[in-house]
């Protein structure tokens, strides 16, 4: 059994502040056409990020990327649906995900995108668990460096629960 930590690891206010900063950082250093967001985990982060950039020329596409069968361990096999490589051709693309853990999801996804004829691709994640990395992958933009803990909320789940919370919490075994 698991329960939420007594206090959030990252408060709603800290998230809002950092996401706005990140929007300025990304928007000020990378001119792009399309935000490609990985559902479901990145849904809340993506909406806050694009709203903070507020650029009428930014288009948005969602794909579904899943590697977690259930629980806390990745199945290691990535399933991607809704990816249309044709519509990315000749575009500058910002790939957005919730968290870099082993790095397998982003590494595999970026590998698939190499076939698309994208003009320039950069990656942005809300959180990075550097300690957990098993593949050689670094995101161009990172919101928060976090310790090796399982986190939920602000889009992230444990067996599909906790996603709608506005803060990031750690899960504790009880
Ligand atoms: P990776 O492929 O191991 O880097 O894991 C990436 C995916 O696993 C993320 O997009 C999340 O959906 C999920 N994930 C990794 N760590 C956590 C966590 O601490 N909480 C919730 N989901 C996580
Ligand atoms: Mg995910």
pLDDT digits (tens, 9 = 90+) for 88-104: 999 999 999 999 999 99
Residue 56 has pLDDT above 80, yes or no: yes
**Reported pTM:** 0.96
The values of phi and psi at residue 105, to 5°, are: -60, -55
Neighbours of ion ligand 2 (CB under 5 A): 41
Q: What is the 101 CA–ligand 1 centroid distance (Å)?
A: 5
Protein residue closest via CA to atom 3 of ligand 1: 102
Q: What is the 101 CA–ligand 2 centroid distance (Å)?
A: 10
Protein residue closest via CA to atom 5 of ligand 1: 101
With contact defined as beta carbons under 8 Å apart, do 33 and 59 qualify?
yes
140 given a catalytic annotation: no
Residue 68 has pLDDT above 80, yes or no: no
* Mean pLDDT, rounded, of the chain: 96
Q: What is the 158 CA–ligand 1 centroid distance (Å)?
A: 10
Tell which atom from ligand 1 comes closest to the C-alpha of 78: 2
49 within ligand 1 shell (Cβ under 6 A): no
């Amino acid at each position: 059994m698991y329960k939420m930590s007594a206090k959030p690891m990252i408060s709603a206010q800290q998230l809002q502040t950092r996401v706005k900063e990140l929007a300025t950082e990304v928007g000020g250093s990378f001119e792009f056409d399309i935000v490609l967001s990985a559902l479901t985990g990145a849904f809340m982060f993506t909406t806050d990020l694009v709203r903070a950039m507020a650029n009428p020329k930014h288009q948005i596409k969602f794909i579904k990327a899943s590697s977690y069968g259930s629980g806390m361990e990745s199945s290691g096999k990535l399933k991607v649906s809704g990816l249309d490589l044709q519509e990315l051709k000749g575009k500058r693309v910002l790939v957005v995900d919730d968290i870099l853990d082993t790095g397998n999801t982003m590494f595999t996804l970026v590998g698939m995108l190499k076939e698309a004829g994208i003009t320039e691709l950069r990656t942005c994640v809300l959180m990075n668990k550097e300690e957990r990395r098993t593949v050689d992958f670094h995101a161009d933009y990172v919101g928060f460096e976090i310790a090796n803990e399982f986190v939920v909320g602000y889009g992230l789940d444990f067996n599909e629960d906790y996603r709608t919370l506005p803060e990031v919490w750690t899960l504790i075994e009880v």
